[in-house]
Copies of this chain bind each other. A is one copy, B any other.
Amino acid sequence: VTGLAAHDPLRLLGRQRCVASNLGVIVDLGCAGLEDDDLRLMAPACRAALDAMGALERGSIANPDEGRPVGHYWLRAPDRAPTAAIGSDIRRALQEVDAFAHRVHDGSVCGADGRFDHLVHIGIGGSSLGGQLLCESTSTERDPLVVHFMDNADPDGVTRTLSRLRGALGRTLVSVVSKSGITPTPMHVARAVEAAYARAGLRFAEHAVATTMRGTPLDRRAAADGWLARFPLWDWVGGRTSVTSAVGLVPAAVQGVDIHAFLAGAAAMDALTRTAEPAANPAALLALSWHRLGAGCGRRSMVVLPYRDRLALLPRYVQQLVMESVGKRFDRSGTEVRQGLTVYGNKGTTDQHAYMQQLREGPDDFFVLFVGVHRDAGDPIEIGGSVTLGDYLFASLGGTRDALHDGGRRSITIELTDASPRSLGALIGLLERAVGLYAELIDVNAYHQPSVDKHAAGAAISLQQAAVVLLTEASEPLTAGQIAREIGRPESAEVVFRALERLARLPGRGVVASACEDPAGIRFAVAPSVVGRIEEGDS
């Protein structure tokens, strides 16, 4: 490796840095190991990608598989929407979110027990992660509401959050988010929360809002039951790029985040990254770097390392955004390409004490995306010698990058002046556009997700139900193989076995299993008379 520092380092730095002064964002490729030729050779492809993004912004069917335009950039620049109707829909939705948050804050919308001081946000994947990042990265002790996210079908997680809210449900707002209004997980979780309100003697509808497309089952239910508010979504907003829609804005606005600054940051980054000259376009530089560092096929993983606790969710956000967008079997002409760009990471400096060992010594199969923040949010903490803990944190980032570089490992650095809502908007806009451009470079549809299965549980649950019904009526204990045949699904003996084996370990489910080393020989029973025979040693 010829070190960056070998000759005239600062001139090289100048060529490989893109400073967006108005946004306080720097993209620094000094340690990415790019040659000047890399940018030159990729320039035509990059211009084509920028042209395609321009067409997308004008309303082309950028997601042809689903026959839809892709409109998340309009959300922060409604004047650019392809029709006046879409533009006014966006403006109206934003006004509704804004007005609702104000009414929550001034107490004119309140719960059964008074002013709302908690929000439970129910949504999964793209319906949650952007809002989580925004709320987590900006929260302070002075927020008017504390926001809790329920983003999983885990009963323990639901119970844990509900127990934290014991006695406070009458001051807790619940926001249910599902674009389709039928995704099972948020619907199951919402029912569980609704039941908790009923147990507390409270009317759920008086504490609930919905964010969904017009006319979905969730929308109709919220309308019929008289929920506090319904916020719109549109089919041209994908989950992983929905943070600038009501999906991300409702929890943020309610927590007290300046959503206008957030949207303005994203809009300003969108404007900057329409620049046709790749070297002056930080999104293009990111996309070109990803392409170059991964040889156009994700050969290197991207390790996202924000150096701030408040950005600890950023790697997961980028992971969802990138892997769901570019992890595709086929390119747009239908050729099998098995594309992907693996993303992982947590936070610095913490991770320097963990997997950094492998990054420094192990295989050259990754590059790091460092994210540094110049300013502390609160008062600086002095650690002696006119040095602050913030200086130390930033120096740790630089020292780690330089050590990786000296070992021949690549990195990209994004520096933000602060972690304000405006800067976060700019960062998210930057990443969204980089992903869009990268997908153009590798020719995949970045806007569908044909293999995200929201119903993965369905088949196994049906088999479990059928097996239990059969056993309830059976006169003999049966093996999983026998049960599978009886219910007409002989190929699913294993799924039946796993479900019944688990039920037999749970209290109160009434399933009993015989003792047998070989899974194929284990017999199950539910009917009391048959259970008795197993317990007496039938096998």
Q: Which of A50-58, A86-94, A221-229, A379-387 contacts B (4 or more CB under 8 A)?
A: A379-387
Taking CB atoms and an 8 Å cut-off, the chain A residues in 371-407 that contact chain B are 374-381, 383, 385-396, 398-400, 402-403
- Docked-complex contact A153 and B391, CB < 8 angstroms: no
Taking CB atoms and an 8 Å cut-off, the chain A residues in 146-193 that contact chain B are 151-160, 163-164, 166, 184-185, 188-189, 191-192
Q: Which of A260-268, A319-327, A420-428 contacts B (4 or more CB under 8 A)?
A: A319-327
Contacts of A460 in B (CB 8 A): 395, 398-399
Contact A155:B393 (CB < 8 A) given known A342-B301, A399-B456: yes
Identify which of A24, A166, A386, A415 gathers the most chain B CB atoms within 10 Å of its CB. Answer: A386
- Docked-complex contact B125 and A354, CB < 8 angstroms: yes
Contacts of A375 in B (CB 8 A): 505-507
| Chain B minimum-CB-distance residue to A498 | B398
Contacts of A126 in B (CB 8 A): 353-354
| Chain B minimum-CB-distance residue to A454 | B353
- Docked-complex contact A452 and B518, CB < 8 angstroms: no
Contact A387:B459 (CB < 8 A) given known A151-B350, A152-B347: no
Contacts of A398 in B (CB 8 A): 457, 460, 495, 498-499
A307-324 CB mask vs B (1 if < 8 Å, else 0) is 111100000100110011
| Chain B minimum-CB-distance residue to A151 | B350
| Chain B minimum-CB-distance residue to A494 | B9
A366, B352: Cα distance in complex, Å:
24
Contacts of A328 in B (CB 8 A): 357-358, 361-362
Asked if A461 is at the interface of the complex by the 8 Å CB criterion, the answer is: yes
Add 18 more A-B contacts to A327-B360, A391-B461 (CB < 8 A): A5-B491, A10-B493, A14-B518, A125-B352, A154-B307, A156-B309, A157-B310, A159-B379, A195-B381, A323-B358, A328-B357, A344-B344, A356-B453, A357-B451, A361-B451, A394-B499, A398-B499, A417-B505
A499, B163: Cα distance in complex, Å:
46
Contact of A13 among B151, B159, B339, B497 (CB under 8 A): B497
> What are the 9 closest A-B residue pairs judged by CB atoms, nearest first?
A327-B358, A125-B353, A340-B362, A157-B309, A344-B344, A399-B456, A395-B460, A323-B355, A10-B520
Contacts of A443 in B (CB 8 A): none
Contacts of A14 in B (CB 8 A): 517-520
Asked if A283 is at the interface of the complex by the 8 Å CB criterion, the answer is: no
| Chain B minimum-CB-distance residue to A336 | B361
Task: Tell me, rounded to whole Å, the shortest Cβ–Cβ distance linking A417 to chain B.
Answer: 5
Asked if A477 is at the interface of the complex by the 8 Å CB criterion, the answer is: no
Asked if A332 is at the interface of the complex by the 8 Å CB criterion, the answer is: no
| Chain B minimum-CB-distance residue to A458 | B399
- Docked-complex contact A399 and B323, CB < 8 angstroms: no
| Chain B minimum-CB-distance residue to A316 | B346
Asked if A475 is at the interface of the complex by the 8 Å CB criterion, the answer is: no
Identify which of A13, A126, A343 gathers the most chain B CB atoms within 10 Å of its CB. Answer: A13
- Docked-complex contact B497 and A153, CB < 8 angstroms: no
Contacts of A188 in B (CB 8 A): 381, 383, 389, 392
Asked if A275 is at the interface of the complex by the 8 Å CB criterion, the answer is: no
A327, B351: Cα distance in complex, Å:
14
Task: Tell me, rounded to whole Å, the shortest Cβ–Cβ distance linking A103 to chain B.
Answer: 28
- Docked-complex contact A355 and B320, CB < 8 angstroms: yes
Asked if A60 is at the interface of the complex by the 8 Å CB criterion, the answer is: no
Asked if A481 is at the interface of the complex by the 8 Å CB criterion, the answer is: yes
Asked if A298 is at the interface of the complex by the 8 Å CB criterion, the answer is: yes
- Docked-complex contact A339 and B362, CB < 8 angstroms: yes
A14, B522: Cα distance in complex, Å:
11
- Docked-complex contact A456 and B361, CB < 8 angstroms: no
- Docked-complex contact A324 and B461, CB < 8 angstroms: no
Contact of A155 among B24, B127, B390, B498 (CB under 8 A): B390
Contacts of A9 in B (CB 8 A): 493-494
